[in-house]
Structure 1
Amino acid sequence: MFVPCGESVPDLTGFTLLMPAVSVGNVGQLAMDLIISTLDMFYSLPSRKLVALQLRSIFIKYKARPFCEKLLSWVKSSNCSRVIVLSSSHSSHCNDLQLRSTPFRYLLTPSMQKGVLNKIKSLNWEEMEKSPCIPQMNDSELCIRIPGGGITKALYDESCSKEIQMAILLKFVSEGDNIPDALGLVGYLNEWLQIIKPCSEDPTASALPWKLPSSWRLLFGSGLPPALF
C-alpha cells in the first residue's frame, strides 16, 4: 500500500512527480537513483518544481492495483501537475519494427497530451505501439502491453480514468548490468525536461554529468574475498 507520511497533505501545485516502476532490470529505479544523486534531492526540489518518489521492492500479490489507486489519489489531493514514470520492458518481446528502431518509447494519458504533445513531437520520439492483447494471435484486439513493466500499465490505466497528467518513458532492455540502460533512460528524460546541462559547451559532446550514487559501488556485491585465493 502507499501510505504518505504525516497527517497533512503537502501542496505540490505546479510540481512534477518523478517515480519509477519496479520493472525488468530495475532500470526505472536506477534512473531515479541517478536523478536523486545528481540533484542532491531528499524528497523535493522546489527550485525545479520537482518531487521524487523512489520504490525499492516488488508488490505483494493483489496489492499492486490498490497501491496505484492510493498513490494517484494522493497525487490528486496534493495538486501535483503531472507524473512521469520511468520504466522498462522486455526487449525479448519486441516485434521486428521495434527491434529496428530506437529502444525508447513514450506513452501519454489523454489529459497529458494536451500540454506536451507538440514538444514531444519536436523531439521525434516514438510512441509505445499497440500489440495484440493475446500474444501470438494476430487477429486479437490491439491494446497497450508492457511485458516486464510491473505496475506501469496499471498506473497508466488508473491515470487515464482519473484524468491525471502522466507520461511513461521506458526502454526495451534485458536483465544484466543495466546501468547503461539507466543512463540512457535519464538522458531520454533530459531531452525533454532539461534537468541538467552538458559538461561542455562543445555541441558534439554527448556526456552528461550524472552523479553515480555511492551505493552503486556494491551493486553487484563486494567481490570475492581474498582468502579464497
Structure 2
Amino acid sequence: MLLLKDGSDSINLEGFTAIVPSIGVGNAGQLACDLIISTLQLKRIGNIWHPALIPIAGPSAFQHDSQNKAASCEVYIDESKKLLAIQLRSPLISKHLDDFHTNLVNLFQKCSRVIILTSSFGYEKHTIEASPFEYIANNVFKQNHADRLGELKWTEFSGEVVHGGGNAVKLYKALDASNVPALLLFKYVLEGDNSMDASQLVKQLDELMEQELKISTVNGLKLTVPVSWKLLYGNEVGDLIF
C-alpha cells in the first residue's frame, strides 16, 4: 500500500503524530490538511495506493513541492516535528473501505496519536450557542492528553454518527479497536467556500498540538495558502464567451 520515493515499502512512525482527513461535507478536513502541509512545508515522501482509492493525477498543489504531481493519496512528513500528514484527493470506494482502514491502522500502529479531521452538516448542530467544534477520543488518547483536553474545554460528541463526515467514524473505530490513541475532530459547516472552516480547524488543532505545529502567534494564525487554492472553484470564466 505504501509507495515511498526512496523505494522502500515501510516507514518507522514510532512517536509520530499522524493527521488524516476524511472526505466530508465542504471538504473542510482536506482543506485543513492543505494548510498544514503548505504552512509547515512538509516534505512529500510518497503515496498510498489501494483499491479503495480512485486513481488521479495532476499538477502539484504546493509551491514548495512543485516537482511532484498530485495523486489520490499523498504522504507528507516533518521528521524533526515527528509529524505525518496524509492527504486524500479522491473519493473512496466503499466496498474496499474496511481493508483500507485495516492497512492504515497497521501503518499507524506505533504512532503516539492519530488525529482525524472532518466536518458535519451545519443543520445537525441543534444547540445554537454551543461550539461549532466537537470531538471523539478513545480512552488511550484521553489518558495521554487528559490535562490538555481539560484546558481546551472542547465539547465531546455524544452521538453515534457524524452526518456528512465520510469515513471518519469508521476509521476512528478501527484505530480504537487496535488501541491506537485516536482523536476525531470535526466542525459543523455549510457547503460553499469552506476555506475559513479549514483555517478554524487548524487553529483548534494548533491549540492541542502547540508543541508540534506552532502555527499560532500573538497576532493570530500564520497560514500559507496553497497555490492550488487559486483555482479552488475552477478557472475564471473567459471574456470571449460574452
TM bucket (normalised to shorter chain) is 0.7 to 0.9
Kept in 1, the 8 Å contact 2:134–2:187? The answer is: yes
RMSD: 1.4
| Structure number with larger C-alpha Rg | 1
Matched, 1:196 2:214: yes
Bigger strand fraction: 2
Runs of 4 or more off by more than 4 Å in structure 1?
none
Task: Describe the shift of the 1:57–1:197 C-alpha distance in structure 2 as closer, same or farther (beyond 3 A).
Answer: closer
Aligned with 1:116 (options 145, 159, 163): 145
1:54 is aligned to: 87
Q: Which residue of 2 aligns with 1:159?
A: 175
Scaled by the length of structure 1, what TM-score is found?
A: 0.85
Can you give the 5+ residue segments of structure 1 that lack an aligned partner in the other structure? 131-143
Q: Deviations over 1:36-89 (max 9, x none)?
A: 00010122101111011111111113122221111111211xx22211111111
Shift of 1:197: 4.2
Cα deviation, residue 22, structure 1: 0.8
User: What fraction of aligned residue pairs are identical, expressed as a percent?
Assistant: 35
Q: CA deviation at 1:20?
A: 0.4
Instruction: For structure 2, list consecutive stretches of 5 or more residues without a partner in the other structure.
Output: 44-75
SS state at 1:188 partner: helix
Do residues 84 (structure 1) and 115 (structure 2) align? yes
| Kept after mapping to 2: 8 A contact 1:104/1:171 | yes
Distance 1:104 1:178, change over 3 A: same
Q: Is the 8 A contact 2:2 2:9 kept in 1?
A: no
Confirm or deny: 8 A CA contact 1:28 1:87 kept in the other structure. Answer: yes
For 1:117 and 1:125, how far apart are their aligned partners in 2? 12
Match of 1:186 in 2: 202
Pairwise CA distance, 1:8: 4.0
Which amino acid counterpart does residue 165 of structure 2 have in structure 1?
A: G
Amino acid at match of 2:170: A
Could you tell which deviates more after superposition, 213-222 or 63-72? 63-72
Letter in 2 for 1:156: Y
Aligned twin of 2:154:
125
- Number of aligned residue pairs: 205
> More helix per residue: 1 or 2?
1
Report the secondary structure of 2:80's partner residue: helix
Aligned equivalents of 2:13, 2:93: Cα separation in 1 = 29
Give TM-score scaled by structure 2 length.
Answer: 0.81
Out of 127, 135, 144, which is 1:106 matched to? 135
